[in-house]
Copies of this chain bind each other. A is one copy, B any other.
Amino acid sequence: MSELQQLKAKDFKSNQEIRWCPGCGDYSIIAGVQAVLADIGVARENVVMVSGIGCSSRFPYYMETYGFHGIHGRANAIATGVKVANPDLQVWVITGDGDGLSIGGNHMIHSLRRNVDLKIILFNNEIYGLTKGQYSPTSPQGLKTKTSPYGSVDAPFNPLQLALGSGSTFVARTLDTQPKHMKEVLAAAAAHKGSAFVEVWQNCVIFNDGCFKDWTDKTTRDEQTIMLQPGQPMVYGKDQDKGLKIDGFALKIVPAAEASAWDPTVDSAGPAFVMTQLDNDPAMPRPFGVFRSVRKPTLDELVHEQIGTVTTKRGPGALKDLLYTSDCWTVD
């Protein structure tokens, strides 16, 4: 029934009061997800939100869907169980840079390589929010935090590179300050069949305020960022006058007209990985959008396909067959 009526974003709000700090980037992300769910018209009862622990991981409580607030770092594993058990559910993983990349890094990379059909949103605020401000695996080297009073000595992950290195079939990045872009990216993730890894730059106003400001500030962002559009030339700048061109194993800045087109659907993850290298170069714009999107069989499909094949071949098993095998003997 509920599938028939057209749901609105607000129908995906639970009755729980949201407990994020005023101004937290998380608000914009939840709004984006609610809007996208309404847009794609999925029934609320078929959506499961699975999270770990962190500010971001409180997300499921605020959603009028099924929800599982797990333990720290284990959201991907729990979600894998949900999805493989019941592939009819649409399963989202909500995680943070600490939850999903620090303690949960292993489940993250394994669920990506297995291509479990999960929509994974990584709230990257480059800090541990919930525990009140320690550096995370995405914090830049040198960041002073409560546990790095003289500056962090850890080199950070680039989440996109890690996802690509894990074999992820869908890799994207967006920002909390750009709701429209975020919705586009989330919609693409929802439409992707397979693991969809979406990094969202999210501002923590309390413990790491402004860490992304070079790329979010209205005054600078157009020159500092580039929004990749599938099949479109890679152009950017306030006047869309600049572009990127493939140059050997690298990219260079060219006038817009000479820009190469961006294709996230090529089988090789090489181009996407080269694209993420821009992050290391202050002279280059930061790319956002869909870096990679290729269709491969998902774990949940393969598991059930195999069950189907074996069952067709051997016939559905009855408990009796399992116990009473050819090795039995009878005593009268």
| A positions within 8 Å CB-CB of B | 102-103, 105-106, 109-110, 113-115, 137, 150-151, 153-158, 161-167, 246, 248-250, 267-271, 273-274, 277, 280, 296, 299, 302-303, 306, 309-310
Contact = CB atoms under 8 A, between A and B. Distances in A.
A26 B9 CA distance: 58
A306 B149 CA distance: 11
B268 A250 contact: yes
- One complex includes copies of this chain to the number of 2
DSSP class of A's interface residues: helix, strand, loop or mixed?
helix
Contacts of A151: 306
Given A249-B246, A274-B273, A157 B167 contact: yes
Nearest to A296: B155
Contact of A164 (B165, B306, B310): B165
Contacts of A163: 165
A325 to B, nearest CB: 16
B161 A269 contact: yes
Given A150-B309, A161-B167, A249 B277 contact: no
Nearest to A159: B165
